[in-house]
Structure 1
Protein backbone atom coordinates (compact mmCIF):
# COMPACT_ATOMS: atom_id res chain seq x y z
CA UNK A 1 0.00 0.00 0.00
CA UNK A 2 1.21 3.48 -0.80
CA UNK A 3 -0.17 6.93 -0.13
CA UNK A 4 -0.37 9.65 -2.77
CA UNK A 5 -2.02 13.03 -2.96
CA UNK A 6 -5.10 13.50 -5.09
CA UNK A 7 -3.14 16.35 -6.69
CA UNK A 8 -0.86 13.68 -8.18
CA UNK A 9 -3.69 11.36 -9.22
CA UNK A 10 -6.67 13.50 -10.21
CA UNK A 11 -8.06 10.65 -12.34
CA UNK A 12 -9.40 9.31 -9.01
CA UNK A 13 -11.87 12.20 -8.67
CA UNK A 14 -14.86 10.42 -10.30
CA UNK A 15 -14.48 7.36 -8.06
CA UNK A 16 -14.08 9.40 -4.89
CA UNK A 17 -17.09 11.54 -5.81
CA UNK A 18 -19.18 8.39 -6.29
CA UNK A 19 -18.04 6.97 -2.96
CA UNK A 20 -18.87 10.20 -1.14
CA UNK A 21 -22.22 10.63 -2.85
CA UNK A 22 -23.22 7.01 -2.16
CA UNK A 23 -22.10 7.21 1.49
CA UNK A 24 -23.09 10.74 2.50
CA UNK A 25 -25.40 12.00 -0.24
CA UNK A 26 -28.35 11.90 2.15
CA UNK A 27 -26.90 14.79 4.17
CA UNK A 28 -28.06 17.56 1.87
CA UNK A 29 -27.63 19.56 -1.27
CA UNK A 30 -24.42 19.59 -3.28
CA UNK A 31 -23.73 15.90 -2.77
CA UNK A 32 -24.52 14.43 -6.16
CA UNK A 33 -21.62 12.70 -7.87
CA UNK A 34 -21.29 15.47 -10.46
CA UNK A 35 -21.39 18.26 -7.85
CA UNK A 36 -18.80 16.46 -5.75
CA UNK A 37 -16.52 15.99 -8.75
CA UNK A 38 -16.44 19.76 -9.13
CA UNK A 39 -15.85 20.36 -5.40
CA UNK A 40 -13.03 17.81 -5.27
CA UNK A 41 -11.03 19.92 -7.73
CA UNK A 42 -10.44 22.31 -4.79
CA UNK A 43 -8.46 19.50 -3.12
CA UNK A 44 -5.73 19.34 -5.77
CA UNK A 45 -3.13 20.83 -3.41
CA UNK A 46 0.29 19.58 -2.34
CA UNK A 47 1.38 21.95 0.42
CA UNK A 48 -1.80 23.36 1.94
CA UNK A 49 -5.31 22.24 2.87
CA UNK A 50 -7.68 21.32 1.51
CA UNK A 51 -6.05 18.16 0.22
CA UNK A 52 -6.84 14.48 -0.09
CA UNK A 53 -4.56 11.53 0.52
CA UNK A 54 -5.32 8.32 -1.37
CA UNK A 55 -4.38 4.76 -0.41
CA UNK A 56 -3.38 2.67 -3.42
CA UNK A 57 -2.47 -0.97 -3.86
CA UNK A 58 -0.76 -1.70 -7.19
CA UNK A 59 -2.28 1.57 -8.46
CA UNK A 60 -5.79 0.41 -7.48
CA UNK A 61 -7.66 3.01 -5.42
CA UNK A 62 -8.56 1.60 -2.00
CA UNK A 63 -9.37 4.61 0.17
CA UNK A 64 -9.33 8.38 0.58
CA UNK A 65 -9.24 10.94 3.40
CA UNK A 66 -9.34 14.73 3.50
CA UNK A 67 -7.52 17.42 5.43
CA UNK A 68 -9.70 20.50 5.16
CA UNK A 69 -10.69 23.85 6.66
CA UNK A 70 -13.69 24.82 8.80
CA UNK A 71 -15.87 21.78 8.24
CA UNK A 72 -18.47 22.86 10.80
CA UNK A 73 -19.45 26.52 10.69
CA UNK A 74 -20.65 26.38 14.31
CA UNK A 75 -16.97 26.08 15.31
CA UNK A 76 -15.20 29.01 13.63
CA UNK A 77 -12.27 28.62 16.05
CA UNK A 78 -11.66 25.00 14.93
CA UNK A 79 -9.70 25.45 11.72
CA UNK A 80 -8.41 22.09 10.48
CA UNK A 81 -10.55 19.00 10.04
CA UNK A 82 -10.19 15.38 9.05
CA UNK A 83 -13.06 14.34 6.83
CA UNK A 84 -14.19 12.11 4.03
CA UNK A 85 -12.43 9.03 5.40
CA UNK A 86 -13.67 6.30 3.09
CA UNK A 87 -12.39 2.78 2.45
CA UNK A 88 -13.82 0.76 -0.46
CA UNK A 89 -15.92 -2.13 0.87
CA UNK A 90 -13.57 -4.86 -0.38
CA UNK A 91 -10.68 -3.38 1.64
CA UNK A 92 -12.43 -2.75 4.95
CA UNK A 93 -11.25 -4.40 8.15
CA UNK A 94 -7.60 -4.42 7.09
CA UNK A 95 -6.34 -1.36 8.97
CA UNK A 96 -6.36 0.89 5.90
CA UNK A 97 -8.46 3.64 7.51
CA UNK A 98 -6.12 3.69 10.51
CA UNK A 99 -3.06 3.96 8.25
CA UNK A 100 -4.72 6.65 6.13
CA UNK A 101 -5.63 8.75 9.20
CA UNK A 102 -1.99 8.45 10.33
CA UNK A 103 -0.87 9.66 6.90
CA UNK A 104 -3.18 12.70 7.20
CA UNK A 105 -1.75 13.44 10.67
CA UNK A 106 1.81 13.18 9.33
CA UNK A 107 0.99 15.56 6.48
CA UNK A 108 -0.70 18.00 8.88
CA UNK A 109 2.39 18.02 11.11
CA UNK A 110 4.60 18.76 8.09
CA UNK A 111 2.31 21.68 7.27
CA UNK A 112 2.70 23.07 10.82
CA UNK A 113 -0.85 22.27 11.91
CA UNK A 114 -1.20 21.88 15.70
CA UNK A 115 -4.59 20.19 16.00
CA UNK A 116 -7.20 18.50 13.84
CA UNK A 117 -10.92 18.07 14.47
CA UNK A 118 -13.43 15.61 13.10
CA UNK A 119 -17.08 14.72 13.36
CA UNK A 120 -18.41 11.18 13.50
CA UNK A 121 -21.84 9.63 13.87
CA UNK A 122 -20.22 6.95 16.05
CA UNK A 123 -20.55 8.30 19.59
CA UNK A 124 -17.92 5.85 20.87
CA UNK A 125 -15.39 7.59 18.63
CA UNK A 126 -14.96 4.42 16.57
CA UNK A 127 -11.50 4.04 15.14
CA UNK A 128 -10.52 7.54 16.30
CA UNK A 129 -10.54 6.97 20.08
CA UNK A 130 -7.72 4.37 20.00
CA UNK A 131 -5.75 6.78 17.80
CA UNK A 132 -5.78 9.45 20.52
CA UNK A 133 -8.71 11.64 19.46
CA UNK A 134 -10.54 13.27 22.37
CA UNK A 135 -14.29 13.95 22.46
CA UNK A 136 -15.26 17.62 22.45
CA UNK A 137 -19.06 17.43 22.46
CA UNK A 138 -22.08 15.85 20.85
CA UNK A 139 -24.15 18.16 18.68
CA UNK A 140 -26.85 18.03 16.07
CA UNK A 141 -25.45 19.50 12.88
CA UNK A 142 -27.57 19.81 9.74
CA UNK A 143 -30.09 17.51 11.39
CA UNK A 144 -27.55 14.75 12.19
CA UNK A 145 -26.29 13.90 15.68
CA UNK A 146 -22.50 13.75 15.69
CA UNK A 147 -19.59 13.44 18.09
CA UNK A 148 -17.02 16.20 17.56
CA UNK A 149 -13.47 15.13 18.38
CA UNK A 150 -10.05 16.76 18.45
CA UNK A 151 -6.46 15.56 18.29
CA UNK A 152 -3.52 17.72 19.32
CA UNK A 153 -0.49 17.13 17.13
Structure 2
Protein backbone atom coordinates (compact mmCIF):
# COMPACT_ATOMS: atom_id res chain seq x y z
CA UNK A 1 0.00 0.00 0.00
CA UNK A 2 1.22 3.47 -0.84
CA UNK A 3 1.02 6.14 1.83
CA UNK A 4 0.85 9.81 1.01
CA UNK A 5 1.54 12.83 3.17
CA UNK A 6 -1.47 14.37 4.91
CA UNK A 7 -0.29 17.82 3.87
CA UNK A 8 1.39 18.68 0.60
CA UNK A 9 4.02 21.38 0.36
CA UNK A 10 2.72 24.72 -0.86
CA UNK A 11 2.83 24.51 -4.63
CA UNK A 12 3.76 27.61 -6.54
CA UNK A 13 4.11 27.67 -10.31
CA UNK A 14 7.88 27.82 -9.99
CA UNK A 15 8.10 24.79 -7.67
CA UNK A 16 5.87 22.44 -9.69
CA UNK A 17 7.86 20.34 -12.14
CA UNK A 18 6.32 18.17 -14.85
CA UNK A 19 8.51 15.63 -16.58
CA UNK A 20 8.25 12.35 -18.43
CA UNK A 21 8.10 9.22 -16.26
CA UNK A 22 11.46 7.47 -16.21
CA UNK A 23 12.49 4.14 -14.75
CA UNK A 24 15.01 5.95 -12.55
CA UNK A 25 12.27 7.96 -10.85
CA UNK A 26 10.97 4.87 -9.07
CA UNK A 27 7.41 6.21 -9.38
CA UNK A 28 5.82 3.44 -11.45
CA UNK A 29 4.75 1.43 -8.39
CA UNK A 30 3.33 4.51 -6.62
CA UNK A 31 1.40 5.69 -9.68
CA UNK A 32 0.07 2.19 -10.38
CA UNK A 33 -1.12 1.70 -6.80
CA UNK A 34 -2.83 5.10 -6.58
CA UNK A 35 -4.45 5.05 -10.00
CA UNK A 36 -5.54 1.42 -9.83
CA UNK A 37 -7.08 2.03 -6.39
CA UNK A 38 -8.96 5.00 -7.89
CA UNK A 39 -10.00 3.60 -11.31
CA UNK A 40 -9.44 -0.16 -11.19
CA UNK A 41 -10.13 -1.72 -14.60
CA UNK A 42 -10.71 1.73 -16.16
CA UNK A 43 -6.91 1.86 -16.32
CA UNK A 44 -7.22 -0.86 -18.95
CA UNK A 45 -5.55 -3.46 -16.72
CA UNK A 46 -6.78 -6.22 -14.40
CA UNK A 47 -4.46 -5.49 -11.50
CA UNK A 48 -2.16 -2.82 -10.10
CA UNK A 49 0.81 -5.09 -10.91
CA UNK A 50 -0.25 -5.32 -14.58
CA UNK A 51 -0.74 -1.56 -14.69
CA UNK A 52 2.71 -1.06 -13.15
CA UNK A 53 4.20 -3.18 -15.95
CA UNK A 54 2.50 -0.91 -18.50
CA UNK A 55 3.94 2.17 -16.74
CA UNK A 56 7.43 0.62 -16.75
CA UNK A 57 7.07 -0.08 -20.48
CA UNK A 58 5.93 3.52 -21.07
CA UNK A 59 8.93 4.81 -19.11
CA UNK A 60 11.23 2.96 -21.56
CA UNK A 61 9.29 3.93 -24.69
CA UNK A 62 10.41 6.63 -27.08
CA UNK A 63 6.88 6.94 -28.52
CA UNK A 64 3.38 6.83 -27.11
CA UNK A 65 2.42 5.82 -24.48
CA UNK A 66 4.02 8.56 -22.43
CA UNK A 67 3.36 9.32 -18.78
CA UNK A 68 3.84 12.87 -17.51
CA UNK A 69 4.52 13.20 -13.80
CA UNK A 70 4.06 16.28 -11.61
CA UNK A 71 6.27 16.76 -8.58
CA UNK A 72 6.72 19.48 -6.04
CA UNK A 73 10.31 19.03 -5.01
CA UNK A 74 10.61 15.28 -4.59
CA UNK A 75 6.91 14.78 -3.74
CA UNK A 76 4.68 13.14 -6.36
CA UNK A 77 1.56 15.30 -6.85
CA UNK A 78 -0.01 13.93 -10.01
CA UNK A 79 0.28 12.34 -13.42
CA UNK A 80 -1.40 12.04 -16.79
CA UNK A 81 -1.06 9.51 -19.60
CA UNK A 82 -0.77 10.17 -23.31
CA UNK A 83 -1.90 7.10 -25.24
CA UNK A 84 -2.11 6.22 -28.92
CA UNK A 85 -5.39 4.39 -28.29
CA UNK A 86 -7.77 4.49 -25.34
CA UNK A 87 -11.34 3.70 -26.31
CA UNK A 88 -11.82 0.34 -28.04
CA UNK A 89 -15.06 1.51 -29.66
CA UNK A 90 -13.27 4.47 -31.30
CA UNK A 91 -9.98 3.02 -32.60
CA UNK A 92 -9.57 5.72 -35.27
CA UNK A 93 -9.27 8.50 -32.69
CA UNK A 94 -5.72 9.24 -31.58
CA UNK A 95 -3.95 10.30 -29.40
CA UNK A 96 -5.72 10.27 -26.04
CA UNK A 97 -5.13 12.02 -22.75
CA UNK A 98 -6.03 9.54 -20.00
CA UNK A 99 -5.82 8.92 -16.28
CA UNK A 100 -5.36 12.54 -15.23
CA UNK A 101 -4.71 11.93 -11.57
CA UNK A 102 -4.08 14.31 -8.67
CA UNK A 103 -4.40 12.91 -5.13
CA UNK A 104 -7.23 14.52 -3.13
CA UNK A 105 -4.90 16.37 -0.80
CA UNK A 106 -3.06 18.03 -3.72
CA UNK A 107 -6.17 19.15 -5.60
CA UNK A 108 -7.25 22.77 -6.15
CA UNK A 109 -3.64 23.90 -6.38
CA UNK A 110 -3.29 24.01 -10.18
CA UNK A 111 -1.67 20.60 -10.62
CA UNK A 112 -4.44 19.23 -12.85
CA UNK A 113 -4.39 22.32 -15.05
CA UNK A 114 -0.60 22.13 -15.36
CA UNK A 115 -0.77 18.44 -16.31
CA UNK A 116 -3.45 19.14 -18.93
CA UNK A 117 -1.34 21.96 -20.40
CA UNK A 118 1.72 19.69 -20.46
CA UNK A 119 -0.22 16.89 -22.19
CA UNK A 120 -1.61 19.31 -24.79
CA UNK A 121 1.87 20.75 -25.43
CA UNK A 122 3.42 17.29 -25.74
CA UNK A 123 0.74 16.09 -28.20
CA UNK A 124 1.27 19.24 -30.28
CA UNK A 125 5.06 18.77 -30.19
CA UNK A 126 4.55 15.23 -31.49
CA UNK A 127 2.73 16.72 -34.50
CA UNK A 128 -0.85 15.80 -33.62
CA UNK A 129 -3.70 18.10 -34.59
CA UNK A 130 -6.24 16.91 -31.97
CA UNK A 131 -6.12 15.28 -28.57
CA UNK A 132 -9.01 13.21 -27.20
CA UNK A 133 -10.27 12.12 -23.80
CA UNK A 134 -13.37 10.50 -22.40
CA UNK A 135 -15.01 11.35 -19.13
CA UNK A 136 -18.31 11.30 -17.28
CA UNK A 137 -20.29 12.87 -14.46
CA UNK A 138 -19.49 16.53 -13.81
CA UNK A 139 -16.06 16.38 -15.46
CA UNK A 140 -17.18 17.38 -18.98
CA UNK A 141 -17.78 20.86 -17.51
CA UNK A 142 -14.28 20.91 -16.02
CA UNK A 143 -12.72 20.07 -19.38
CA UNK A 144 -15.05 22.39 -21.32
CA UNK A 145 -13.83 25.28 -19.16
CA UNK A 146 -10.33 24.39 -20.41
CA UNK A 147 -11.26 24.58 -24.13
CA UNK A 148 -12.10 20.89 -24.67
CA UNK A 149 -15.10 20.37 -26.96
CA UNK A 150 -17.61 17.52 -26.66
CA UNK A 151 -17.52 15.19 -29.66
CA UNK A 152 -20.17 12.62 -28.74
CA UNK A 153 -21.82 10.74 -25.90
CA UNK A 154 -21.43 6.97 -25.88
CA UNK A 155 -22.16 3.99 -23.68
CA UNK A 156 -18.76 2.57 -22.70
CA UNK A 157 -17.75 0.16 -19.95
CA UNK A 158 -21.24 0.22 -18.49
CA UNK A 159 -21.56 3.98 -18.18
CA UNK A 160 -22.49 7.05 -20.22
CA UNK A 161 -19.25 8.75 -21.34
CA UNK A 162 -18.49 11.98 -23.16
CA UNK A 163 -15.72 11.93 -25.74
CA UNK A 164 -14.05 15.33 -25.89
CA UNK A 165 -11.39 16.82 -28.16
CA UNK A 166 -8.85 19.59 -27.92
CA UNK A 167 -7.78 21.19 -31.20
CA UNK A 168 -4.03 21.63 -31.18
CA UNK A 169 -3.69 23.61 -34.42
8 Å CA contact 2:43–2:99 kept in 1: the answer is no
- Residue 125 of structure 1 is matched in structure 2 by 140
> Aligned partners of 2:43, 2:102: CA distance in 1, in Å?
22
Q: Distance in 2 between matches of 1:49 and 1:28?
A: 16
- Give the aligned partner of residue 4 of structure 2: none
Distance of 2:132 and 2:43 partners within structure 1: 21
The equivalent of 2:97 in structure 1 is 82
| Displacement after TM superposition at 1:82 (Å) | 0.3
- Between Structure 1 and Structure 2, how many residues are aligned? 153
Q: Does 1:33 align with 2:33?
A: no
How far residue 108 of structure 1 moved from its aligned partner, in angstroms, is: 1.1
Residue number in structure 2 paired with 1:144: 159
CA RMSD of aligned residues (A): 1.9
In structure 1, what is the Cα distance between the partners aligned to 2:25 and 2:50? 16
Structure with the higher fraction of residues in strand conformation: 1
1:8-36 Cα deviation digits (max 9, x unpaired): 65410011101111111154873321111
Structure 1 residue runs of 5 or longer lacking an equivalent are none
Unpaired runs of 5+ in structure 2? 1-15
**Structure 1 segments of 4+ aligned residues over 2 angstroms from their partners:** 7-10, 26-31, 45-48
Return the TM-score normalized by structure 2. 0.83
Equivalent positions of 1:3-152 (< 5 A) are 3-7=18-22, 9-25=24-40, 27=42, 30-45=45-60, 47-122=62-137, 125-152=140-167
Give distance in 1, aligned partners of 2:49 and 2:35: 11
The structure with the larger Rg is: 2
